[in-house]
Chains A and B, each alone.
Chain A
Amino acid sequence: AQSVTQPDIHITVSEGASLELRCNYSYGATPYLFWYVQSPGQGLQLLLKYFSGDTLVQGIKGFEAEFKRSQSSFNLRKPSVHWSDAAEYFCAVGANYGGSQGNLIFGKGTKLSVKP
């Protein structure tokens, strides 16, 4: 069965420091991978997505992610974190179950705190 693991429940980084959020997936075929961010009191917003091609994907707000098939990973990175990046981040994989192709399976999320 498809699954997504985000090993870190909570990460704290200093403002201006670099960030890497981990995501590992389990999926039998070519995965379709997504990163979403949820600010407090808000819905989820898409940061970036990977379907095929270049394994380094650029997203909004200065985020990028790298797909590594050999490691079944799709880690999210940002070179310099801003206080406004404090939020919860969700990795998701496009799943195909029940004959449908539109479902997403989400990880449990990583909460990011940013200290001054």
Chain B
Amino acid sequence: ETGVTQTPRHLVMGMTNKKSLKCEQHLGHNAMYWYKQSAKKPLELMFVYSLEERVENNSVPSRFSPECPNSSHLFLHLHTLQPEDSALYLCASSQDYDSYTDTQYFGPGTRLTVL
């Protein structure tokens, strides 16, 4: 596998379920990101990890819980979600976090539907 992979690609869950999204990057990068892409809204940055430490948490509700066990893997744990949380969740990585010049590489996303 190359680049950034995400699993599952599609997920349907009820509001009382607990599920997790997984992201893996095979690029040797040090920074990883979670974005939310909703219809008719700009991409929203949710979380950023740099060298496995969370460096950004943009006022995301606590029902979203990120985890970065190592620099290659990033998880987004979901619990008691709301229907408005239905969206495409994108993972990205970059070589480092502290430079504009580093390109962010995106995974294909997980399409989440909350019933």
Interface residues of A (CB under 8 A from B): 4, 32, 36, 41-46, 49, 51, 90, 94, 98, 100-109
- Residues of A within 8 Å of B6, CB to CB, are 43
State how many angstroms separate the Cβ of A94 from the closest Cβ of chain B: 4
Partner of A43, one of B40, B56, B108: B108
Contact A100 B97 (CB under 8 A): yes
Give the tally of cross-chain contacts (CB within 8 A).
63
Q: Are B106 and A43 in contact (CB under 8 A)?
A: yes
- Knowing A51-B101, A103-B48, say if A43 contacts B90 (CB, 8 Å): yes
Contact A51 to B100, CB < 8 A, known contacts A4-B42, A108-B41 = yes
Cα–Cα distance between A5 and B52 once the two chains are bound (Å): 33
Report whether B98 and A102 are in contact in the complex, using a CB–CB cutoff of 8 Å.
Answer: yes
Is A90 touching B97 in the complex (CB atoms < 8 A)?
Answer: no
What's the tally of chain B residues with a CB closer than 8 Å to chain A?
29
A108 in contact with B42 given A102-B99, A102-B100 (CB within 8 Å): yes
Interface of chain B, main secondary structure: loop
CB atoms of B100 and A32 under 8 A apart: yes
A109 CA / B108 CA spacing, docked (Å): 17
Contact (Cβ within 8 A) A101 B100: yes
The answer to whether A100 and B106 have CB atoms under 8 Å apart is no
A residues near B103, Cβ cutoff 8 Å: 46, 49
In the complex the two chains form, is A100's CB within 8 Å of B98's CB? yes
By a CB distance below 8 angstroms, the chain A residues around B104 are 44, 46, 104
With beta carbons under 8 angstroms apart, the residue of A42, A102, A107 that contacts B42 is A107
